[in-house]
Chain A
Amino acid sequence: MSEDKFFDRLREDASRLRYVADDVLWTRLIARIRERVRSQPSVAVMLARWFRPITASFVTLAIAAALSVTWIERHESANGVEAMTSNFVEITVDGDTYNLAE
């Protein structure tokens, strides 16, 4: 028998070695795949999952920045009032100097 003929015969006989199972197994497998596929997130959900932490980070940064600016502004205005009250104002008229704080 030639090599090719032997292999052709073997191929014919070897087809009995294919995996077969009862319908219950196939039904169960198909149901499991269906369940997994349907629980897959949609593109919108996946995008939302990506953007949610990014958005949260930006919001946190914005709040921190706003609080910082508010604190700095308050601090500066307090300093300004203090400076105004503590500094003397001198007015000179015809060579005479008058101090308003006095």
Chain B
Amino acid sequence: MFGVQSEVDRTPAEIDPLEQRAIAAVKDGNAGSYDYLVSKYMKRVVSIAWGIVRNAHDAEDLAQEAFVKAFQTIGRFKPGEPFGPWIYRIVTNLALDVVKHRQRFRHEEINESLPATRGDRADLPAVVNELARRIDDAIESLPEMQRIVARLYLVEHFEHSEIAAMTALSEGTIRSHLSLARAKLRERLADLYEGRHE
């Protein structure tokens, strides 16, 4: 479940001529050309969804929904723009809707004094290196929006402006969430980082 993906799909989106050709073909009614876009972005889209909803099945379903939604509305997609930020924004919005729905459901169904069980621990692999597990636990212990923003920044390596576009929040709000998250994470991971990496 955890692993290191190639850095190729982590670099900021650049204009890919094949991608632009695929988008144009899909707009012209060639659904087969959509395969290129799905193959290129699928892994990262699922990773973003999983980071937010923390459930593998939900993340896969959300990725499917995001790609189908993007396909249905591709006519509105501006030519010359990279596809990545658009599909990331769609999947983030869908995943945030799931989180909001869960919060509402939890609010109605469960006594608020009980601790929130947000993460689906069954999705965590049996053997994960201790450092990764500690970081994961620390991120998961953050309040909801700090957790989501921290995950997009720390795990997915998105920049502030990209996270702002994906979550429809201002860059200032993203910085504020990250600043609060950083203070809490530093405190919770003090034994791992203080002195060791100096």
Where the two chains meet, the residues of A that have a C-beta atom closer than 8 Å to any C-beta of B are 1, 3, 5-7, 9-11, 13-21, 25-26, 29-30, 32-34, 36-38, 40, 42-43
Contacts A1-B194, A17-B136 known; list 5 others, CB within 8 Å: A1-B193, A9-B193, A10-B135, A33-B34, A38-B31
Q: Count the B residues whose beta carbon is within 8 Å of the partner chain — how many?
A: 48
Given contacts A17-B155, A37-B71, A38-B31, contact A29 B129 (CB under 8 A): no
Q: Closest A-chain residue to B138, C-beta based?
A: A10
Given contacts A1-B198, A13-B135, A18-B5, contact A30 B154 (CB under 8 A): no
What are the nearest 4 A-B pairs in CB distance? A20-B3, A14-B154, A19-B47, A19-B50
Q: Are B51 and A19 closer than 8 Å at their CB atoms?
A: yes
State in angstroms the CA–CA spacing of A43 and B185 once bound together: 50
State in angstroms the CA–CA spacing of A9 and B197 once bound together: 8
Q: Are A18 and B4 closer than 8 Å at their CB atoms?
A: yes
The A contact surface, by secondary structure, is helix
CB-contact partner of B46 in A16, A19, A36, A38, under 8 A: A19
Closest-CB distance, B171 to chain A (whole angstroms): 17
